[in-house]
Structure 1
Amino acid sequence: MPTRNDAYTLMTNHVKNENLQKHMLSVEAAMRAYARKYGEDEELWAMTGLLHDCDYEEYPDLNEHTRVAAGWLRSEGYDERIIYAILAHNDVNAATHPRTDLLSKGLYACDEITGMITATTLVRPNKSIHGLEVSSVRKKMKSKGFAAGVNREDLMQGAAELDVDLNEHIAFVIQAMAERAEALGLAGTPEQTQPEVAR
């Protein structure tokens, strides 16, 4: 099977938008952490996260998104479990690819929440994920105008399908992303880093 470096190259060849690249790196980090928690294959789960939106920039139409990627990945010899989970995270494919396995449920659960955590981090004064509180993320979730591209229903549905408490899920993903803060552009700067202030 292709390596993580192969997967990263494929992703960056098709995705030039830096924010979308960071989104996929965020989902990769969350998926790797969940694989470790569940005793699953870390590389398989991580590559699923890294590649899940690799066709979105070129094929944003939901009837094409993930189906184009599936063709690319199949031709490159990627594991069918990765391809299935990527197809399953697009609800357009629900009839043919229901989320019945843990990998698919994990990807769906990690997708929207990483976007909300990133958006919440970037409006903090220090722009650092370190010290970010679950309560801050939940507060921003309630603001309809904030991070409008993040589907709140999908976010909550993802946690429900994975059968995890939403607050615990948010805390877990914050920690996973914090471990990759530099690569995700969420480390802030040393002089800016300060404790979270209740708002």
Structure 2
Amino acid sequence: MSIIPTPAQAMEWVRRYNQEEFHLHHAKTVGWVLDCLAQSHDPGQEEYWQAVGILHDIDFERWPEEHCKKAPALLEELGADPTVVHGVVSDGWGLCYDVAPERLMEKYLFAADELTGLIGAAALMRPTGFEGMEVKSVMKKFKDKKFAAGCSREVISQGAEMLGLTIQELAAEVLPAMQSMPEDWPG
């Protein structure tokens, strides 16, 4: 029997293989952002988008050299539906895995994953955090290659292009989602 996990189940699965607060927070953030994006792009599928977003780095903390390669076995052992597995591994397309994002959710995951890191880093540098942050601030940080250098501008650009969006348009969707995330979500 294949399982499409709820977001709470997805967090339980992530916690089996991830203990570092950074990785857990990133999983929650990407899940929240995908939930928000699903509200306007795939209504009724919010929990599915959110669960895949939460799970996208399930193998990264323990097996960084096998990222996206270890995930299929972990997820299959947990009974995850093949669509969940495909969504998770497509996040590593062109980087560490050869499964391309096909569905809209997978394209948004690919595009938004790195962008959440850049936006999160920008918020940490501001005395007010996310409050009052605008897309133009995100774009200024995007153009500064030294800022949050680990966040691949190439992946963000490639993801936006895959969606038929400019980077500004993508940021205009991701930033408000991040700004609306409750600190205690999902508990």
Could you tell me the TM-score, scaled by structure 1's length?
0.84
Deviations 1:102-143 (A, max 9, x none): 1221110111010010000000022x2121111111111122
Aligned mates of 1:104, 1:166 — CA distance in 2: 17
Aligned mates of 2:6, 2:115 — CA distance in 1: 26
Residue identity in the other structure for 2:46: E
Aligned mates of 1:183, 1:163 — CA distance in 2: 33
Paired residues of 2:6 and 2:48 also in contact (CA < 8 A): no
Match in the other structure for 1:57:
61
Q: Which has the greater radius of gyration?
A: 1
Residue identity in the other structure for 2:148: A
1:71 shift after superposition = 1.0
Deviations 1:138-165 (A, max 9, x none): 1111222211110010011111111223
Aligned length: 179
Structure 2 residue 145 is the aligned partner of structure 1 residue 141 = no
1:181 shift after superposition = 4.3
Aligned mates of 1:99, 1:182 — CA distance in 2: 29
- RMSD of aligned Cα (Å): 1.5
Structure 2 residue 42 is the aligned partner of structure 1 residue 42 = no
Match in the other structure for 1:66:
68
1:53 shift after superposition = 0.4
Aligned mates of 1:157, 1:183 — CA distance in 2: 32
State the SS of the aligned residue for 1:16.
coil
Gap runs ≥5 in structure 1? 185-199
Match in the other structure for 1:179:
180
Could you tell me the TM-score, scaled by structure 2's length?
0.89
Among residues 97, 100, 105, which one is paired with 1:98 in the alignment?
100
Deviations 1:14-64 (A, max 9, x none): 111111211111111111111111125111110110010011010111xx2
Match in the other structure for 2:159:
158
Q: Identity of paired residues, percent?
A: 34
Structure 2 residue 21 is the aligned partner of structure 1 residue 6 = no
Residue identity in the other structure for 2:55: L
Deviations 1:60-106 (A, max 9, x none): 11xx2112121111121212111101111112322xx2222212211
Gap runs ≥5 in structure 2? none
Aligned mates of 1:6, 1:99 — CA distance in 2: 23
